[in-house]
A and B are shown apart, each in its own frame.
Chain A
Amino acid sequence: MQKILRIKTNTKAVLFEEVKTEYAMLGGRGLIAKILNDEVDPKCDPTGPENKLIVCGGLLNGTMLPCTGRLSVGGKSPLTGGIKEANAGGTAGQMLGKLDIKAIIFENKPADNKWSILKIDQDKAELLPADKYVGMGNYALSAELRKDFGDKIGIVSVGVAGERGYRNSTLQVNDMEGNPVRAAARGGLGSVLGSKGIKAIVLDVTGAANVEYADKEKFVAANKKFIAAVKAHPVTGGMFPNLGTAGLVNMINGLGALPTNNFSDGRWDKAENISGEKLAEMQSTRGGKNGHRCMPGCVVCCSNVIHDEKGNYVTSSLEFETIALAGSNIGIDSLDVIAKFDRLCDDFGIDTIETGGTLGVCMEAGKMQFGDGEAALKLLQEMIEGTDFGNILGQGAEVTGKYLGVKRIPTVKGQTLAGYDPRGLKGIGVTYATSPMGGDHTAGNPLGVPTVDPYKKEGQVELSTQMQVFMATCDSLGTCMMILNAPLGEPENLGYFLEIMSGKFDGEWDPDKLFGIGVQTIALEKAFNKGAGFTAKDDKLPSFMYTEVLPSTGTVIDFTEEDMAMAIPF
């Protein structure tokens, strides 16, 4: 029987609760939206006692469907001031499912200002003193926790950035090798968990039972067919296992939408140096790995392990978004420098996208030159050391840009845009502007649909709406978008997936019922944001993008407020 685990951090009470009937068919992002609407004042201080931090798996977590171990975290975001859900791969999502925990709700603030870790196993959940772990980076923390609790544990942790309340801070989840490299990165939710005095959640599934199915035979049969389709698809069975998401660098550069020098261009003559093809070439001589799994049972394997030129481990996984924001966006064409940047961000516990955007506005302001990798790492070091300017950098690109007097700040609702300039891919412009998540590509990325011209606004609102519903559904199921996005384009594969849902939950499933999960989720999120004070006037892209032509495409943003108001009309 699934349960909710509520942690009252002010009294250190750890309580198991029954799952309300109305929560039964909610999971991941959808469940977070519902709980926040039910329990949190949208006008609250994000790092104050009224906000709550929710950690949960999706509806399918713990099942045999591969790539269904995403861990969702959510709360009111210190970065955007609105609702935020961020999710990550790694080991913890599946473990939460196996422990039959539907959600963990952290509330209030510790009265004694003491730090704790939450340890959960099959028999109990308890808060343990965390004094010895406070001040540790995520790598040292992961090693220490594995030494103390065994090397098979799942870990969700905050780095020093989360302890300090930085608005760009993450929650890191360990991968199968124990490295804290899978980040629930966006929205600064690490600082919300930090505000509750929680340094880490430790999960031990020894002896835990497997999840239940309404019709296991039906589930297994459909699952087998769906996996075959995923493996046969050119994206999930070809490009991603071979090149990882870094394979998108040349594609987005070719499209003319690769953020370059703080979003001042969309095509970069050095893009090849940071491409997936270049990365694969480096891997072959250094002992790194493409085709790496971030969670048990993954069949896409888009993760990678990066080694330096001496063959030593540096980081995992180097993703397209990190390469774009910490590469072309700041003029750095060295994958080694970008890998060091990624390692430092994972260890300190900060979002690579937000940090890349922050360094971009610093370069725009003349704090350093575009392309100066050494200077970029030094600024990152200032954040880690907590200098006065480092503390400003830790508040993200918008705060830093305003502090430095920069006019061109690439943010929406306070959050840095990801690796696609919306003037060169207008559908994602609609998503950035209208998603309740703020500027976030994972909210719905309409990339590569040949029937809609990426440089024109026609058809983009509809396309973005479709993708936003799709992603809200994925995020509520706990399913990696990589496994679902391409194969579900085929009606036959969608049929297999509906059978999977029926095998797990019983009843007849059709596309309306499946994607109704996403519609319901977005409606709840919009309701929360309305309560927080957001209006249609906030659904807009950075002002410079409406007037400044993107040289690579010759386009500007030409959506009106009325256009944007037609997106996600739920």
Chain B
Amino acid sequence: MSQNNLITVTIRSHVPPSADVKDFQFGKPFQLGLEYNANLQALLQKLFPENIKDLGFIAVNGKLAARDRSLLEGDVIYIYSLVAGG
């Protein structure tokens, strides 16, 4: 696949990915290249193959997002786990 068919998204995750992400830190942004037609669920399956059940709300560009949402170049994705506190 050529570079033209990739998009780059920024991810800030509060759940450690079970896939290998170099220098991952809680809440620190990192970038990831995805196929241009990827949706959120595909991204989550790629990053969290072993612990996808730990995920709670996901926001894209600051708004709650459905798992079938298509991702676009430059999207910022916040990933949260199940929380009941505060």
Contacts and interface: CB of A to CB of B under 8 A. Distances in A.
Partners in one complex: yes
A454 interface: yes
Nearest to B62: A254
A248 B81 contact: no
A421 interface: no
A234 B59 contact: no
Interface stretch (A30-38, A374-382, A445-453): A445-453
Contacts of A254: 57, 59, 62-64, 78
Contact of B86 (A238, A255, A280, A418): A418
B54 interface: yes
Interface residues of A, number: 43
A449 B85 CA distance: 12
Interface stretch (A134-142, A239-247, A308-316, A515-523): A239-247
Contacts of A242: 25-27
Main SS class of interface, A: helix
B57 A448 contact: yes
A486 interface: yes
B84 A238 contact: no
Given A238-B26, A243-B27, A448 B83 contact: yes
A256 interface: yes
A470 B15 CA distance: 24
A260 interface: no
Most B Cβ at <10 Å: residue of A234, A420, A446: A234
Interface in A259-284: 267, 271, 276-277, 280
B57 A255 contact: yes
A441 B82 CA distance: 16
Interface in A200-234: 233-234
B78 A448 contact: no
Contacts of A450: 55-57, 82
Interface of B: 12, 14-16, 25-27, 51, 54-57, 59, 62-64, 78, 80-86
Interface of A: 233-235, 238-240, 242-243, 245, 247-248, 250-251, 253-256, 267, 271, 276-277, 280, 319-321, 418-420, 441, 445-450, 454, 467, 470, 481-482, 485-486, 489
